Every structure is written in structure tokens, then in C-alpha cells.
Amino acid sequence: MKDARSLLILLRCGATATVLRRLLDAFGSPTAILAAGESAWRAAALTAECIEALLRPDAARLRADLDWLDPANHHLIGWHSPDYPALLRSSAHPPAALFVRGDADLLWHPQVAVVGSRRPTAGGRDNARQFARAFGRAGLVVTSGLAEGIDTAAHLGAMETSRTIAVLGTGPDICYPPGNFRLLAAIAAEGAVVTEHPPGTPGIRQHFPSRNRLIAGLALGTVVVEAALRSGALITARMATDAGREVFALPGSIHNPMARGCHRLIRLGAGLAETPAEVIETLAPLAESLAGALRGRLEAGEGPTSEKKEDSDAPPTAGDQEGLWLALAHDPVNLDQLCERTGLTVGPLSAMLLAMELDGKIIAEHGRYSRRS
């Protein structure tokens, strides 16, 4: 509990995930970081506000966080822990820690993400449930975001034959949408609920693009069941592609607007999935080879492939949005360039880029962004 207490203090101090990961790599444990003192913290580029929060942590908040950790099925997994999921560790912008309700070992199990529209057709809902049920029978854990529509159907289908993981954009103690409260409790009891946000964190808009990157980062592949042309599911699919993971899309009727996003993905090179078996056959050898490669990297002591600016919970302002538009051009630029041009961190920047992409103002391809002509 001593290490958990130290990690909670670090997570609440306001430092970015990049800085926290770097500190954990350098000192080996949260307790060692706190023992290092102010000079080490200043050398790590912690702000005065962060240092003050480390010196005088909020006692009531810390007690509440520790109380949340009391149950045996509540876990806090830090970047320094060997329990940190290997696939997520190798993705872009991994969080410094994960809060987990349920079976934390499930995060290491081969996963397939199933995502799609919050307002699917009846056929799309049935397909999501059928595919998730088949994935469970094949030994794959189905990962999704607990949203209404396709996410809910996927979780329910997976629970009929296996277990499922819900990735939240809130704290582990908050259900969004509220209507899925019973489903969330069932997943926590039989599978796993995971989030990067500490207890009490509400459903802030900018947290959901961050949640999508965790869904894509945890899974071997992502299956899009139904999605409009402007859909958060397409963002998850793009994040999966950027992470080097497989992406599949279910085809649909040319008259169904919820099929157009899937058709676009197929045109861009996503695998066309008419049956669950097609996805399973593709992921089965990948699961073994990718697990071996990641195991080798971890044994060699290698960290993530990139270190980039990380999330901040400060909501973007109108000035930020205008600055981002000016920073974009007709020539594609990557997230690092936009961070440098705007001075924003990944969290607010991702939220604004997602909104602009869904509004049709920008194009995002292969991790690069440009204005739509």
C-alpha cells in the first residue's frame, strides 16, 4: 500500500504522463520518486504547482483514493509494474497508470476491439452481438467502450460465451452513460473495467478520444460494425492503424448511412469482415507472434517507441481552437508538429482534432492532419 499511496500522490499532482513515465523509468518506483525530493523534481521539469502538490497532497482526496483501492478486485497498475499490459506499453501515448475493477490479468489476454455507432440499426446491433459471441468462443476477449449502441451489444454478446473489458472515459467509480450501470457492474464482476482516470473523474468530452486510444492500444485488432462517415469509431480505427494493429470493417447496404464509414475504411485498406471466422483467422497467428515480440522487448528492458507530450485536463478555449486552425495547413502535419505550433498537450489537442474531423473540417490519414479543401 505504501507504493500505491505514492503513485496516487504522483497521479494527482498534475504532471503529464510523459513526465511520470520518465520519472518511473529513472527511479524505479513511486516511493523512490517522492523520496528524491524537490531538486530531483525540478530537474525533471515539474512545475511549481506539481511540486507543491507533492509536498502537500490533498489528504481527503488521497484517503478517498485509498478507500477505493481497498476491495480485493480493485487495482492500480503503474508504468513501473510488470503487470502493465504489454500491448498498451508499446502503443503511442500510454498512460502512466491504470485503474482496474475486476480481473487485472485479463488485460494481458488476446483482445479484439468491437466498436461502432451509438445509434446503430437493428441489424448492426445483431451483428455486433453475433461477432462478439463468436470471438468469445474462439478465446478472444472483446474490448469496447461501454457506449450505447454497438459497444453495449458487443459487451453483451461477449458475456454470453466469455468475458469482456470495458474501457472508460471516466473514473472507475463512475458509469457513463448512466443507463449502463448494471452492465458495468456485471463486467466488473466477471471481466474487467479499466481507465486511466482516478476515482471521481466525470465524463469530460476530451477524455473520450483518449479512451479510444486505450481501446485501440489494448487490442490486437479493431472491428468496426457500423459507423457513419463522421464517427468516433473511425477515429478508433485510425488509432489502431497508427499503432500497427489490424482493422476490420463489416460491409453493409449502400442505402444505410451507418455503413458508409465502414465502406470508407474498406476502401482505405481495412479488412472486409463478412464472418467472425475471417477476423479470428487473421488474429490467431498475430497474437502469438506479437506476444513473442513484445515479450522479447520487455525482457530487453526497452520502453515505448516514442515519448510525446501528454494529456492535460484543462478544456480547450476558443483561442486554442483558433490557434489550432491557424497551425493546420493544406499539407499534412503530425501531432508532434501541432503540439509544438500550438503549445497544447495531447489531451486538448486530440479532443479538438476529433471534433474538427467529425465536423468535416479536417482530414486525418496515417497520423497526419490537414485542412479539408
Beta-ladder partners of 354:
none
State the span(s) of the chain assigned CATH 1.10.10.10: 318-371
CA distance 143 to 195: 12
Considering the domain 104-295, what is its CATH architecture?
Answer: 3-Layer(aba) Sandwich (3.40)
Residue 152's nearest CA partner among 189, 134, 172, 178 is 178
Q: What is the DSSP letter of 155?
A: H
Model pLDDT, residue 306: 28
Residue ranges, CATH 3.40.50.450, the chain: 104-295
Q: What totals of helices (H) and strands (E) does the chain contain, helices first?
A: 17, 12
Class assignment of domain 318-371?
mainly alpha
Q: Could you give the angle at the alpha carbon of 219 between the alpha carbons of 216 and 221, nearest 5°?
A: 85
Q: Which residue, 41, 90, 68, is CA-closest to 218?
A: 90
Contact 315, 206 (CB under 8 A): yes
Residue 244 region, left (φ>0) first, then alpha (ψ -120 to 50), else beta?
A: left
In the prediction, which pLDDT does 313 show? 40
Intervals of the chain under pLDDT 50 = 290, 294, 297-298, 302-315
